[in-house]
Amino acid sequence: MSDETPMRAAPGLYDPDDQPELYDAILSKRIVAFVVDAIIVVLLMVPAALVVFIVGVVTFGIGWVLYGALFAIVALGYVGLTLGGPQSATIGMRWTAIEMRTWNGGRCFPLLAVMHALIFWFSVGLLTPLILLVGLFTRRRQLLHDLLLGTLVLNSGPLRARER
């Protein structure tokens, strides 16, 4: 047995009753961030599609099989590098001044970011976009995939002020 105690969230960490400014307008900011990120992913797909085209020509058509997975590769790469990066936010999230944290205050990492995106798309695809209404009924404005992964989306300004 080790002397280490399991990692637990500090009492009151990101409590919406004590720090409501962390959650102000989070759902509407997440919608705007999603739209911005979707536009960026579509724009990134143009050069990626050209690369796949060239690979397909060089490999006599075999490389064109990559077109089927192009969106997943570009979108998951984007999320893994941005949301899983040091700022724990995609470009759209940075633009709307929000970022993601784990339940115990840790920053997001690439695998968590990719899992977050995959569970989001599967939940919306299987359960309809109405599943996003879950955020209206949770204290921390978490969506289903946030609850499953133990993540929170918080306003960056109050979060950074709190961490100083």
Does residue 50 belong to any structural domain of this protein? yes
Q: What percent of the chain has pLDDT over 90?
A: 76
pLDDT at 33: 97
Q: What is the mean pLDDT of residues 91-104?
A: 96
Q: What is the mean pLDDT of residues 99-116?
A: 95
CA distances from 118 to 66, 80, 159, 164 (A): 19, 11, 26, 33
132 closest CA partner among 100, 141, 117: 141
Q: What is the mean pLDDT of residues 107-130?
A: 94
pLDDT at 10: 53
pLDDT at 24: 95
Does residue 92 belong to any structural domain of this protein? yes
Does residue 99 belong to any structural domain of this protein? yes
Domain interval for residue 93: 23-163
Residue 83 reports pLDDT greater than 60: yes
Does residue 16 belong to any structural domain of this protein? no
Does residue 18 belong to any structural domain of this protein? no
Does residue 44 belong to any structural domain of this protein? yes
Task: Count how many domains the chain has.
Answer: 1
* Count of beta carbons in the 10 Å neighbourhood of residue 98: 25
Does residue 31 belong to any structural domain of this protein? yes
pLDDT band with cut points at 50, 70 and 90 for residue 161: confident
* Count of beta carbons in the 10 Å neighbourhood of residue 24: 14
5-56 pLDDT per residue, tens? 444 445 568 999 999 999 999 999 999 999 999 999 999 999 999 999 999 9
